[in-house]
Amino acid sequence: MINILYEDNHVIVVEKKPNIPVCEDESKDLDLLNIIKRYLKEKYNKPGNVYLGLVHRLDRPVGGIMVFAKTSKAANRLSEQVKNHKFKKIYYAVVTGKVKEKDRLIDKLLKDHRTNITRVDNSGKEAILDYELIEYKDNMSLVKINLKTGRSHQIRVQFSSRNHPLYGDQKYNKNTKKDNIALFAGELSFIHPVTKEVMDFKLDLPNRYPYNIFKNFIDN
């Protein structure tokens, strides 16, 4: 069952559940792109293949809000917004240790496609995010992140490189428990590709499995 936040003739906005790949990967597990295509095919009784444009991504273990394009025109216009940093993407994360009240992180990030590992490297691409501390508890910080660029594993690498790795991040936090990564795409804003209306979407912080760690902060 898909949690559909909005749908019209041009776009569909959904909640991605954690541990579902956005598109087909080497695991061959059912991915979100094909789940939505099946939904559209059945709902509108469409013959043949269904078009669905992928304009941004979330890492497999990360849940949250995503928008997909239902036409090629919408896909092109949304992709331009992503390229020109007109998408507003807000994430919530639980990181190890106490961070500053607010800060801007700027790095150069380089991804090794053979290992799927990203690192800070002067030969990489610029990565920028702003964050603010929401609450500190039990040597962990709940932070709100305004992602300015969309580099691979950006949030995870920028915080881990400052000794504040994300809770549950099996790739960049060697000392974490084997829980789901505490990263959630909670807010998304973009300009509608046809009506030009500003579209704002927000989800409450998750408080159930596999996002148990957020519950520690929500239940205060």
- Among the listed residues 31, 59, 107, 204, the single catalytic one is 59
59 has catalytic annotation:
yes
Per the listing, tokens 């509108």 go with 44
- Dig out the tokens for 87 from the structure: 């998408």
Residue 95: how many CA atoms within 13 Å on its side-chain side? 26
Contact between 184 and 211 under an 8 Å Cβ cutoff? The reply is: yes
Task: Kindly give the residue spans of alpha helices, DSSP state H, lying in the chain.
Answer: 32-43, 72-83, 154-160, 212-218
- 109: number of Cβ within 10 Å: 20
The candidate with the shortest Cα–Cα distance to 93, out of 206, 178, 192, 201, is 206
Which positions are catalytic?
Answer: 59
